[in-house]
Amino acid sequence: MLIILTGKTASGKDTIKQRILHKFPDVKRVITTTSRAPREGEQQDIDYHFISREGFQKKIDAGDFIEYVEYGGNLYGTTKIELDKTLDENLLWKIDPSRAGEIRDFIRRSFPSDQASRLVKNILVIYITTSDEVILERLRRRNLSSNEIEKRMMDDLKIWHKYQRNYDYVIENVPGKLDETVDKIFHIIL
């Protein structure tokens, strides 16, 4: 199974991702690459593959990515090598909602047709949402400017309108009810 975890900015995806990995230890995590600097507590090649913007651009030019996107002023993407090395495993892949909305197309373009067909049949896209008030509070705690916060929230809205039909499940992460949110996701996976 290829579990795609996506959703609004600051909706709790990283926390939920950790809970899924703890509950299902046989699920392997796809590690994406980003041009942004690590946040406090994040580790190289564990949370992300952190590289410079210039290094990211070189990988784009070389055709190394299955998908990539600029979001919040930073580049994020998944290399073909990263996905290919774990294809025979159950995978959890946290990606940008616009990329998640097109994931089946990316897979079809990036792999031979028999392999792509097998992967596409086993994709499960879970979109995490929460209230705008909660997101606003969380983004303020990240010390983002008002303009950056507004841009991220507007980007989320545009992406939702464009891709909402491509998400298999939409789960609201209600503050104070993380266990319930995670239980719903566990049930979906099982």
pLDDT in tens, 42-52: 999 998 999 99
CA distance between the termini of the chain: 11
CA atoms within 13 A on the CB side of 64: 16
pLDDT of residue 101: 94
Q: For residues 82-95, give the mean pLDDT.
A: 83
Q: What is the mean pLDDT of the chain?
A: 92
Q: Which domain holds residue 111?
A: 2-189
Domain count, the chain: 1
pLDDT for position 110: 85
Task: Provide mean pLDDT across the span 57-71.
Answer: 92
Tens digits of per-residue pLDDT, 13-26? 989 999 999 999 99
- Per-residue b or e along 21-42, where b marks 16 or more CB atoms closer than 10 Å to that residue's CB: eeebeebbbbbbbbbbeeeeee
Q: At 16, which CATH number?
A: 3.40.50.300
